[in-house]
Structure formats: structure tokens, C-alpha cells
A and B are shown apart, each in its own frame.
Chain A
Amino acid sequence: MEPFERYRPIIDDFEAFLAACEQPLGNAVRVNTIKASVERATTALDEDGVAYDQADWNPRVLRLETNSPGSTWTSFHGFTHGQEEVSAVPPIVLDPRPGDRVWDCCAAPGGKATQIAALMDDRGTVVANDSNLGRISALRFNAERLGATSLAVTNDDARNYSLQRFPFDEFDRALVDAPCSCEGTIRKNPDALDNWSPDHINSVAGIQKGILRRALQATREGGTVVYSTCTFAPEENEAVVQHALETEDCRVVDFDLGLEYAPGLTEWDGETFDSSIERAARIYPHHNDTGGFFVAKLEVTA
């Protein structure tokens, strides 16, 4: 937890934050509405004798009271997909519509890409890309198990992504759920901080900036780009959004989210950020008893 000390000045009730980080996370699943309604999925869980709590902010997110969420009939049928509660946030903020062309830049293992497809009633085109070939098989497995027919899976570096192979030249929306230092997954991976270093953060921030810029370039004017990470590091969050504001035609916009969160930072470590970045959300583990997350919503302005 030592690397977290630097966040003491920016996190309210820092001791509660540290205490929450020590607590393991429960099992959350998302109802895959491509295959079953929330009512049908919950009835199936009732039949199985699996107890659950429905999340207040999203009725499709269930907290299961079982140690083996993969061994339920709902999982076998693809009615539910194991997905951490905060991991269901970015697609909600992206708010895709049926028929949209959406790019999920860093899509493996596919929880969010299939959630995007479900929010679009599996109608439209969801280009699910990942640069890591080893993780593509998990993405494909999940897409098929969940019955997502609108996904096109590609294996490329998002930073210089080409749309040439598609019959369209821009997306309506893009999700940049960027590779990151993963500090916010500490409750799931107790060794998440083992390789923590300022150098690692700086190098991953460079990749994040490149991916976010490409996503903004590949999205049409008036389109939406959501930037998210599962880390607290401002270098990987606000600083990346700040860089996008300085280099691409875009602005940070508001969104509604029924979860408790803190606003984006406007200064960190001597650097100041645009005041609009306050519209971003910092979700801390003690806020809603979840993992940690950062999410910002941008609109392409030209």
C-alpha cells in the first residue's frame, strides 16, 4: 500500500480508502441482455438457489453470493458474465445506440465490448480491438458465449489503427479502456502494486496518450470518446485527458452516473489541468465497495 501514500492529500477519508483496499471483492456479474432479460436471469438464479443483490445504479449488475459464479446455469447459458461492478461503468457512460459504429480500442477479454453490443441490442458494428494476440482468444470466447453477433475482432496497435478494412471511415463512439498500472484492482489482485514504479507509470501514460489521440481522430465530429482506467494515478488519468485537450479537437462533457465518486483533479504534482476535467469521475473503493476506477467522457468537436 506504500505507493498509495502519495494520494493522502487528494482522497477524502484516506483511512477508509486504505481499509477498503484491504478487503477482498465479492463476485459481481452483469446480465447479458443479448441472451436474457434481467427478469429471466434473476428467475434462473432463484431456481438455482443463488442469492444476489441488484446494484442500485444499474439493474443489470448483480452481486452474487456464491464462490463459484462460473458454475451456475445462468453462466452456462451466457445469461450472466462475471464482470467487476466498476468495469460496467465505461459502456454506460459511452451510451451507445443501436446501429452505431463503435470502436473498443483495448477490448480483451471482452466484458465491456459485449456490454456495448448488448446496450446496442446487438445491432450495429462494435470493432473490438486488442494489441495482445494472447488475449484475443479470451475475447473471442466471451463474445461467442454471450452471443454477440455485432462484434468484429481485430488485433492491432490502437495508436496507429487503420479503418481501411471497413466500409466506413469514422466511428460514432470509441471506448479507450486503457492498459494501466491497475492500482484500482488491488482488492482483486493483492499483488497489483508489486511492480509499481514512477517509470512504469510514465511509460504506460505515453501509450495511453497515443491511444486516446487515435480514438479521437477516428471518431466523427459530435461523436463520443470515453477514456477509462482502473488506476488512481493522475499521470494516467487527468494528465492523459489534458494532453488530449491540448492536441485534439475535443472537450470534456458531463455524464450521469448513480454511483458515489470524486471529481477529476485540476492539479497534481505541480501540474495544473483544465477545469473541465473536474467532470471526470474518480471512483474509490470506499465509495461504493467496488474496485477503483477513473472515467472521463469527451466529445469530438471538429
Chain B
Amino acid sequence: MSDDPSDEQPDGTEHELEQNVGQRFGRLPETAAERTVEGRVSRAEVLEFFADRFAVPPATFDDYSFWEKGAGKIWLYSGEATSPLEIEAIGMTCLRTRQEHWKPTTDFVQRFGHHASECVIDLDREQARRFAAGEDQALAWDGDWGYLIAAHTVAGEREPLGVGLYVHGELRSMVPKGRQRNL
């Protein structure tokens, strides 16, 4: 039994939560109150995070389901599936939870980042080149610190590049090694 008060049901009674099974996909509960797996975030919390941090409208994800596989790795999927499910992958990884600062993935940000209007840092082409190569760079930014969506302009429109971590006047590229390119 956990001491975490969030494990309490709305009627105040505690109940036994299942342990997360890392090997399989489990669909996120709609809300924290419907949680049956210890530590698993809810769909509502995921939507709230994208809305609060990046101003992505929750309706963006109306046709998608969210799943956890592994410890805190959240996947986004638009197809049909039943939970739990033991297969290699569904849709794409979108967010890392079960840590203090939730971190969106590069691929998710490239796919859905155009819905964001806050915590987006616009880079010029040379800065974008360094970001795509995985380099850290000193940059001015007067918004929140933490994970930002880095973007540049492609064909006249803002295009998300990936996730950067902004701290102490520096933007650190979070583009995974396998996705880094020298452009």
C-alpha cells in the first residue's frame, strides 16, 4: 500500500493499486480517480500538461489514445487496440513522465508542435543547424526555463525541430543521437 494520498479514492477509502508492468502497453485512465496502476498518469493530466506548458489545445488529441509502456514512457496512438497489450509499439512515444519535469519527445514535437503557442523558441537557420546537430548554444530567452519546443521557419511557416532544455542562458539540444544531422 502506498502512502501517496493520491491513491485514495474519492470516497476516502484506499485501494490496492496494481504495479506497472513495463513489458506491456496499458491505456491511461481518463482521470487520476480512475487509476488502477500505481504511479500511472491520467489522460487528463497529459492533456493538462500540453495545454499548460505549450498551450496545445486539448481537443488536438480527441482522436488519439494515450498508453504507458516502460516506466513513465507515454505513447500516443490513433488506431484500435485493447488494454493491456503486449506488442512492440503502438503509435509513437510522446512524453516521459514519472520524473519531476515531464519531457516531450523530439518526434512528438515534430509531429504536433505546430499546435503549440507557448514555450516555443524560434531559431534562425544557423541556430537551427546547431540544434539539429545536437549542440548546446547560448541564447537569450525571457520565458520559462525548462523544456522548450525549438522551431525555425521552413517554406514560410514555423516548423518545430525538437525539444530543447533551456537553463542558465543556454539552449541544450535534446535531439537523440540517432536523429541528429549535420545539415
Contacts and interface: CB of A to CB of B under 8 A. Distances in A.
B92 interface: yes
A145 interface: yes
A141 interface: yes
Contacts of B182: 71
Interface in B53-67: 63-64
B81 A166 contact: yes
A149 B61 CA distance: 11
Given A43-B155, A140-B88, A152-B77, 10 more contacts: A73-B154, A125-B80, A140-B89, A141-B178, A149-B91, A149-B111, A150-B78, A165-B85, A167-B80, A168-B80
Contact of A151 (B89, B93, B154): B89
Interface in B136-160: 154-157, 159
A299 B147 CA distance: 50
B181 A76 contact: yes
Given A136-B88, A149-B92, A166 B80 contact: yes
Interface string B172-183: 000000110111
A147 B107 contact: yes
In the A-B complex, the 3 residue pairs with the closest CB atoms: A125-B79, A147-B111, A43-B155
A35 B110 contact: yes
Nearest to B178: A141
B183 A152 contact: no
A112 interface: no
Contacts of A143: 89, 92
B90 interface: yes
Contacts of B155: 40, 43-44, 47
Contacts of A165: 82, 85-87
B132 interface: yes
A124 interface: yes
A89 B183 CA distance: 30
B76 interface: yes
Interface in B25-39: none
A143 B63 CA distance: 19
B154 A77 contact: yes
Given A70-B181, A145-B107, A166 B82 contact: yes
B3 to A, nearest CB: 36
Given A123-B63, A125-B79, A153 B110 contact: no
Contacts of A101: 80
A78 interface: yes
A149 B85 contact: no
A34 B77 CA distance: 14
A84 to B, nearest CB: 21
A138 to B, nearest CB: 10
A32 to B, nearest CB: 11
A149 B77 contact: yes
A146 B90 CA distance: 14
A123 B88 contact: no
A276 interface: no
Contacts of A76: 132, 161, 179, 181, 183
A34 B78 CA distance: 13
A195 to B, nearest CB: 29
A179 to B, nearest CB: 18
A167 B82 contact: yes
A104 interface: no
A229 interface: no
Interface string A24-60: 0000000000110000100110010000000000000
Given A136-B88, A144-B92, A35 B111 contact: yes
Contacts of A154: 87-88
A85 interface: no
A44 B134 CA distance: 21
A94 B38 CA distance: 43
A73 B183 contact: yes
